[in-house]
Chains A and B, each alone.
Chain A
Amino acid sequence: MMRRFPIGSYIALLVAVAAMVLPLVWMLLASFKGQTEIYSLPIQWLPSSFAPTNYSDALDVVPFGAFFINSAITTVVGAGIKIILGLMTAYALVFIEVPFKKVFFAIVIFALLVPQQIVIIPNYTLVASLGWLNTYQGIIVPGLASAFGTFLFRQHFLSLPPSVLEAAALDGAGHLRRLWAFVVPMSTPTIAAVALVSVVTEWNEYLWPLLVVDRPNMMTLPIGLTLLQNTDGITNWGVLMAGTVLVTLPILIVFFVMQRKIVAGLTAGAVTG
């Protein structure tokens, strides 16, 4: 018996995919359009040439190279330290026997409930008093604590086979060796997932760097992008869309290449059983 072709489902799927893709395609096309093409009516859908003049203009108007380097540094350092802190904390919470361990776990978990936006004024005051405005440490340090990563790593560590670690302990491996030589290699999928989700979050971080940075050469890409919007009273949409492509393209590439692992990280907190 032939199954009926689910035409309605395919139409719905097509509409959903189109709604997600078309704005991004529109952005990409506009980034190659000249001013007159953008303002022409009726709408001119395709650019007359794919000359990258808007990109070179964007690079001329604002220091996009510096934004890119700043974003790369804060993302790599921030995400890297976060993962190391998360691994160390989760190991301590699972494998080291000390009294009041539950209290420390509660301190980590409850922090997930405190949005960083609620504490921006005290943190801004502290960072300013340390003289950290317009510095990498000012952008990175206040967001370093790893509550979500610690939570996911702890969940994963609890599922590891205890026999392996007991054998390692009997062979005389200390805690640090057990962490680096046994636990970390057994956790690479979880580490990759947490790493990718952290990279995405750090790359897109906006409110905090907006507050602590006002010198263009210290700005990250999302902050620098808005600078492009305000350079001259009227928005030059072609140049602005070129900048938007430069901000979104790296993370889109990372997402499409590593999507299985990113999806694993995004869903890890939800599926608790």
Chain B
Amino acid sequence: MTSTATRPAAGETSGQAEAGPGERPGAVPPVTRNVPDPAERARARKVQSRRMQARNWLLFVLLAGPNIALLIAFTYKPLLQSFYYSTLQWNIGSQRAISVGFRNYTDWLTDSETPQVIGVTVIFTLATVGGGMVIGLGLALLLNKKLKLRGPARTIIVAPYVLSGVAVGLLWLFVFDPNFGIVAAVLGAIGLPSPAWYNDPQWALLMVIIVQLWKNVGYIALIYLAGLQAIQVDVLEAAALDGAGPVRTFRRIILPLLGPTSFFLSVTTLLSSLQSFDIIQAMTKGGPLEGTTTMMYEIYREGFVAGRAGYSSAVATILFLVLLIVTLVQLRFVERKVHYS
């Protein structure tokens, strides 16, 4: 391309040709005088795009920076710190700390109380997650029927989920009172004595499981209801035409189609059950005889009641690793088992 011969026309053609692939034609004026040669314009554009990129970076940092900085300061950094603390023999608030390697971990694993805490954590988690999902699905199927007043009923069933865990715990402590609570009155009416909810470790564990279920089952039902309403009616009609009864339809069609919802719920309720604290704190404070001490409650009790911050951090690190492994396993499992439509 000889520049001298084609100059008058080149301004237009080259301008349009270059606007072709990635840029807006409107950005380049169609006719300009003193058009610089292409190399110089490319350089100018480069400078401009570098300036654009710098501007974009600045804006990105301005907008996302504070949030990401807070996440690093109050989530990621303390996560690493917690791991470091777990290698110390250290009382919270004290200046002295002795490095003990992994002794907090071996101490926890060999502590006579640990099997009990693991057992309570497993029972509490399985009962609240499993029980919650079964009852929640039942409620969702019920609320999905064409019943009068199902709208207000749905609102009422979800309501406990938004209440404070402490308030819920105290309220139920009153309901379960063996002398003048409703539970005792109802059992008394059919001639049964009230169980020793406050004094027997097993009854106490059952009590906090019931309260956790009461608070959260409405949320599970709500999510399942959303999943049920996403199932297309013609799928169910086709099944009915093929002569499938309600049980068969439920097992072969509804349950598999709810797979992604069940997965979402199993992850979120598992995480929240393993973290639940306020109901236990308000009702039993981990007792009687450590009968309601979950790993989460042990982290709090060791760190802030007994003051053993290093030991508590070791339990926290173990609980975090358990959460991480369980979530990863669930993710792998769901990739193979669940078919997203």
Residues of A within 8 A of B (CB): 6, 9-10, 12-13, 16-17, 19-24, 26-27, 30, 38-43, 85-86, 88-89, 91-93, 96-98, 104, 107-108, 111, 113-126, 128, 141-147, 150, 170, 175-176, 179, 200, 203-204, 206-207, 210-211, 221-222, 225-226, 229, 237, 240-241, 244, 247-248, 251-252, 254-256, 259, 262-263, 266-267, 269-272
Contact = CB atoms under 8 A, between A and B. Distances in A.
Contacts of B317: 118
A20 B160 contact: yes
B22 interface: no
A162 B299 CA distance: 48
Nearest to B163: A248
Contact of A21 (B81, B156, B182): B156
A109 to B, nearest CB: 10
Interface stretch (B36-44, B69-77, B112-120): B69-77
Contact of B175 (A23, A86, A210): A23
A247 B97 CA distance: 41
SS class, residues of chain A in contact with chain B: helix
Nearest to B160: A20
A147 B188 CA distance: 49
Question: Is chain B's interface secondary structure helix, strand, loop, or mixed overall?
Answer: helix
Given A92-B59, A97-B56, A207-B300, A247 B167 contact: yes
A154 B165 CA distance: 30
Contact of B319 (A43, A118, A266, A269): A118
Contact of A226 (B157, B182, B227, B282): B282
Interface stretch (B3-11, B100-108, B215-223): B215-223
A9 B142 contact: yes
Contacts of B185: 42-43
B245 interface: no
B64 A93 contact: yes
Interface residues of B, number: 90
Contacts of A16: 139, 142, 153, 157
A270 B156 contact: no
A179 B152 CA distance: 37
A40 B185 CA distance: 12
Contacts of A96: 56, 59-60, 63
Most buried by A among B67, B77, B179, B271: B67
B226 to A, nearest CB: 5
Given A108-B67, A119-B75, 5 more contacts: A16-B142, A19-B214, A98-B57, A175-B59, A247-B166
A252 B163 contact: yes
B309 interface: yes
Interface stretch (B123-131, B235-243, B248-256, B273-281): B273-281
B171 interface: yes
A225 B316 contact: no
Contacts of B166: 206, 222, 225-226, 247
Contacts of B78: 119, 121-123, 126
B223 A128 contact: no
Question: Which 8 A-B pairs give the minimum distances between C-beta atoms?
Answer: A122-B78, A119-B78, A145-B70, A92-B63, A122-B81, A92-B64, A88-B63, A204-B164
A6 B145 contact: yes
A203 B275 CA distance: 18
